[in-house]
Amino acid sequence: MSALTILADLVHRRSGLVLGPDKLYLMEARLGGLMRREAIPDLASLAHRLQTERNEALEQDVVEAMATHETLFFRDQKPFEHLRNTGLPTLLRNRGPGARLRMWSAAASTGQEAYSIAMMIAESGLIERHRVEIVGTDLARGPIARARAGLYTQYEVQRGLSVHNLLEHFTRQGEEWQINRPIRSMCSFREWNLLDDIAPLGKFDVVFCRNVLFYFDVPTKAKVLAAIRRQMAPDGLLYLGSAETTMGLDDALERDGPSHALHANAPRAATGHKHSTLPPRTPTYQS
């Protein structure tokens, strides 16, 4: 087996990420820092170490280095607009006064997605901040530590943030900008692999699982989608990335009309009844 195959197999086994031939050329570049730090001269030596040692930390470092952590504030905009204008008002109508909502950014990377949801909610005036909990998870420790700190470079705050949001919700800290406590306190971040049991995270009313499924193979996508659906409230919402679909993966996830919102827990798939008295479906939004 070539070094590239050994490394790609490891990444797939531990994270579900499929490194196609188009990604293999990235290995040298992405693993360069790790190999220098560990004084590993080349990919063949790294593959050999991984095969001969049972080295959890090294394996995790390889996976984190090979994963794409690209993200930005209010990425794709439409899911945030849908949540603000349709999803949130519907959930609050369903739940009544005093409702508390739990939201999940399921591949949170450095936290911009979770903080964008929090800023949108704070600006919307639809629900008080303390009644919303936003949990961000990612398998990568470095990005999750950065998300927790809520510190962003000038370049990062220039990507997707309006001047209003920057001035309202961030404070300059030297060369960087830190998200202010009222928004930060709505969000918490945890390391979590989507291939692991996600039940301990609890139930969610809104899930953003964007720009991670498309790196998985079909069985992994289906497994992760089904697991997420099981963690969702019957009237909850699932938002996917613009290039992601549930078609052919999970029949219980159903689009919410022309808005592309999808519903989970669809009783139809299980019962064959189009309009049943079972709980409503959980919408999934796909921009």
Ligand X SMILES: C[S@@+](CC[C@H](N)C(=O)[O-])C[C@H]1O[C@@H](n2cnc3c(N)ncnc32)[C@H](O)[C@@H]1O
Binding site for ligand X (CB under 6 A): 15-17, 67-71, 75, 107, 109, 113, 138-140, 143, 193-195, 210-212, 241
- Three-class secondary structure of residue 55 per DSSP: coil
Shortest gap between Cβ of 98 and ligand X (angstroms)? 30
Shortest gap between Cβ of 61 and ligand X (angstroms)? 12
Q: DSSP letter at 173? A: E
What gap in Å lies between CA 145 and CA 129, rounded to an integer? Answer: 23
Cβ neighbours of residue 226 closer than 8 Å, sequence gap 6 or more: 250, 252
Question: Which residue's CB is nearer to ligand X, number 56 or number 70?
Answer: 70
Shortest gap between Cβ of 242 and ligand X (angstroms)? 9
Question: Which residue's CB is nearer to ligand X, number 95 or number 190?
Answer: 190
Please report which helix (H) or strand (E) contains residue 267, including its range: helix 267-271
Shortest gap between Cβ of 173 and ligand X (angstroms)? 23
Q: DSSP letter at 95? A: H
Question: Which residue's CB is nearer to ligand X, number 23 or number 48?
Answer: 23
- The distance from CA 69 to its chain's CA centroid, rounded to whole angstroms, is 10
- Three-class secondary structure of residue 256 per DSSP: strand
Question: Which residue's CB is nearer to ligand X, number 116 or number 266?
Answer: 116
Question: Which residue's CB is nearer to ligand X, number 192 or number 267?
Answer: 192
What gap in Å lies between CA 3 and CA 32, rounded to an integer? Answer: 14
Shortest gap between Cβ of 69 and ligand X (angstroms)? 4
